[in-house]
Structure 1
Amino acid sequence: MYRISKEFHFSASHQLGHLPADHQCARLHGHNYIVSVELASTTLNADGFVRDYHELSALKHYIDSELDHRHLNDVLDLPSTAENMARHFYDWSKARWPETVAVRVSETPKTWAEYRP
């Protein structure tokens, strides 16, 4: 199995208002997110790639135009937990690149959430 991955970075605010008021994530706050998309294939294309990394720039464009420096509660139709965001980015990526096998989202240097069906 061949595997590739690429990271994307963006900054955004969010608030998990369904949590108790004394929970730190219930307050308005922001993160410097890292999104890592992983693709896999048992074969390579004619160029010797799972997928050309340049094709993945569509995810960067989506992130930059729709999510970067935004309030995620205003632009996503789901609670903006890292877990939900990993699923969101997975679904977005899988619709464009069938080789997508997983997406990871980091909110801090020490935390990651992953969606892998």
Structure 2
Amino acid sequence: MFRITKEFHFSASHRLEHLPEDHQCHRLHGHNYIVVVELAAKELNADGFVRDYHELKPLKTHIDDDFDHRHLNDVMDAHPTAENMAKYFFDWCKQRWPETAAVKVSETPKTWAEYRP
């Protein structure tokens, strides 16, 4: 299996309002997010790629336009957790690129959430 990944960055705020008021994530705060999309294929295309990295530009545009410097509670229908973001970006990518195998989202240098069916 061949696998490629590409990393995207954005900054945004959120609140996890469903948590108790004394929980630090209940308060308004922000993160410098990293989104990593992974694509996989058993065979390479005629150009020798799983997929040309340039073809992933629509994800960068989507992140820049709809997530960067936004309040995620206003952007997402689900609680704006890293786990829900990983699933959201996975579904978004899978609709465009069938080779999508997983998406990881980081809120801090030490924390990652991944969605992989």
Q: Please, what TM-score do these two structures have when normalized by structure 2?
A: 0.99
Tell me the amino acid that sits aligned with residue 69 of structure 1.
Answer: H
- 1:16-51 deviation per Cα after TM superposition (whole angstroms, max 9, x unaligned): 000000000000000000000000000011110000
Alignment match, 1:85: 85
**For 1:86, what is the secondary structure of its paired residue?**
helix
| Number of equivalent positions | 117
Q: CA deviation at 1:56?
A: 0.6
Consecutive unaligned residues of structure 1, counting only runs of 5 or more, are none
RMSD of aligned Cα (Å)? 0.3
Identity in percent: 76
- Equivalent residues in 2 for 1:30-69, closer than 5 Å: 30-69=30-69
Consecutive unaligned residues of structure 2, counting only runs of 5 or more, are none
**For 1:65, what is the secondary structure of its paired residue?**
helix
Q: Please, what TM-score do these two structures have when normalized by structure 1?
A: 0.99
Alignment match, 2:99: 99
